[in-house]
């Protein structure tokens, strides 16, 4: 009978695929409708688990010390062949008078080559084929010739499948010699058992090989999925950090600019108009509280114990533009605004982008436009797109406001690219001069 061959790699291999891919116990599966699948809830039998653990230990030992396993297997079959060679072979031999020394040499030649069954299976089978030829030609008919099917199993397991053709020729040659030498015994008795043995052992080797390939493919796929999952997690974390940094820049930059303008105006008005100074202080407090509230809401995203989304303030929309512009006016920048069309038809993400672009543009005007500047905000919502134009009458040609400088313009362009929009920012021709920011965002096809 063929050896119960362990499914391990050849000697010298550095890694052996596990029998099964690791599975995380997540409880019984639930079928549609809330019905628990009884098959998934059934745990393996204790005997099955014991057998699986034993097989895993054997494979692990073979992976660490393949030569030890080879010696044990070869030693077992050498002892069995020599035991049969002491006299048991005569019960089935065609000629029981073959010299005992010759029988012992043939027994060794049929068993010792098993030591190379994994590294050089074809050479091992060739040596055993020669011994089988001598055994069949002399009429000894040693039962140790069946050991060569162990090597056939290894050929089917490890070598290309076309190699089985050469193995079949090696097995058929001694059978042909036996049929020609002893025609009276009948070809059915001499050939059919060997043909069936070769076919079954080859199929067993191919089946084990297919299972190993499938297991390795599953393990490789699991590893690739883990790598892809980690990459996606890192990309998501980087995108979230970028989003948070952009939001914090918009919130802090705008509100601090407003607070700075209010503080400067309040300090000038303190001597001549205490009432105006008190109003500026009230506006500073209101703006600071709004900025703190937005920062808390934004930073809550980073906490694991974040409350439900319904408890958080919503993101700014186009309806919040009036409050934004009122704060800019209070900071000392006269601003006119116009909104045409139906802002409610725009998606929330696009409304946030419009709000942040207007906020950033007005913040830059507060910072760089200089005294006496005015600003105009024009928002138009059509059936195909939303366009925003923010202009001011300040000194738009200063280096600090050159296109592409600073985080603010970069953030506006990133938000615009997210919705396949276009953004233009640059100085207006002189006179009168100034600065212009123009945004165009196409609408979603679902909202058109």
Neighbours of 265 (CB within 10 A): 19
Neighbours of 392 (CB within 10 A): 28
Locate all alpha helices (DSSP H) within 113-186, ordered by sequence: 121-138, 148-158, 163-181
Cα 276 to Cα 284: distance, rounded to the nearest angstrom: 12
The pLDDT value given to residue 430:
73
Best CA proximity match to 286, nearest among 315, 339, 327, 247: 327
Which range, 143-152, 235-244, 296-305, 409-418, has the best average confidence (pLDDT)?
143-152
Length of the chain: 448
Long-range contacts of 56-64 (CB under 8 A, 24+ apart): 56/18, 56/19, 58/6, 59/6, 59/7, 59/8, 59/16, 59/19, 60/16, 62/6, 62/8, 62/16, 63/8, 63/9, 63/13, 63/15, 63/16
CB 11 within 8 A of CB 119: yes
Conformational region of residue 338, where left means phi above 0, alpha means psi within -120 to 50, and beta covers everything else: beta
Sorting pLDDT into bands at 50, 70 and 90, what band is 268? low
Task: Please enumerate in sequence order all residues whose Cβ is within 8 A of that of 349, keeping only pairs 6 or more positions apart, or say none.
Answer: 418, 419
Which range, 215-224, 281-290, 309-318, has the best average confidence (pLDDT)?
215-224
**pLDDT tens for each residue of 316-327:** 888 888 888 888
Cα 440 to Cα 253: distance, rounded to the nearest angstrom: 23
């Amino acid at each position: 009978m063929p050896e119960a061959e362990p499914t391990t790699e050849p000697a010298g291999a550095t890694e052996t695929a596990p029998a099964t891919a690791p599975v995380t116990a997540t409880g019984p599966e639930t079928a549609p409708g809330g019905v628990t699948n009884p098959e998934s809830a059934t745990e393996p039998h204790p005997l099955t688990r014991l057998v699986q653990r034993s097989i895993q230990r054997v494979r692990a030992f073979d992976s660490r010390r393949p030569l030890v396993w080879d010696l044990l297997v070869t030693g077992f079959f050498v002892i069995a062949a020599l035991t049969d060679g002491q006299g048991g072979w005569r019960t089935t031999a065609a000629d029981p008078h073959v010299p005992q020394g010759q029988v012992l040499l043939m027994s060794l030649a049929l068993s010792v080559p098993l030591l190379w069954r994994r590294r050089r299976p074809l050479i091992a089978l060739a040596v055993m084929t020669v011994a089988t030829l001598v055994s069949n030609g002399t009429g000894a008919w040693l039962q140790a010739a069946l050991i060569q099917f162990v090597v056939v199993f290894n050929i089917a397991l490890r070598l290309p499948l076309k190699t089985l053709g050469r193995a079949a020729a090696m097995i058929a040659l001694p059978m042909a010699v036996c049929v020609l030498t002893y025609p009276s015994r009948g070809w059915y008795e001499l050939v059919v058992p060997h043909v069936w043995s070769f076919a079954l052992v080859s199929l067993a080797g191919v089946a084990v090989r297919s299972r190993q390939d499938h297991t390795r493919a599953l393990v490789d796929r699991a590893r690739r999925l883990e790598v892809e999952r980690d990459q996606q997690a890192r990309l998501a974390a980087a995108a979230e950090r970028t989003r948070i940094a952009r939001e914090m820049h918009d919130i802090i930059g705008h509100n601090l600019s407003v607070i700075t303008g209010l503080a400067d105006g309040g300090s000038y008005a303190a001597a001549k108009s205490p009432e105006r100074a008190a109003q500026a202080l009230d506006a500073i407090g209101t703006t600071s509280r709004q900025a703190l509230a937005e920062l808390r809401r934004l930073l809550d995203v980073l906490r694991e114990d974040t409350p439900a989304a319904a408890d958080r303030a919503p993101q700014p929309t186009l309806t919040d533009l009036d409050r934004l512009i009122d704060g800019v006016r209070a900071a000392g920048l006269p601003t006119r605004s116009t909104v045409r069309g139906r802002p409610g038809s725009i998606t929330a993400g696009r409304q946030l982008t419009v709000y942040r672009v207007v906020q950033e543009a007005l913040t830059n005007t507060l910072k760089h436009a200089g005294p006496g500047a005015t600003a105009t905000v024009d928002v138009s919502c059509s059936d195909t797109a939303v366009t925003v134009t923010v202009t001011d009458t300040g000194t738009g040609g200063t280096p600090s406001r050159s296109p592409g400088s600073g985080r603010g313009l970069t953030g506006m362009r990133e938000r615009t690219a997210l919705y396949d929009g276009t953004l233009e920012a640059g100085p207006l021709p002189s006179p009168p001069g100034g600065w212009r920011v123009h945004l165009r965002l196409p609408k979603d096809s679902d909202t058109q």
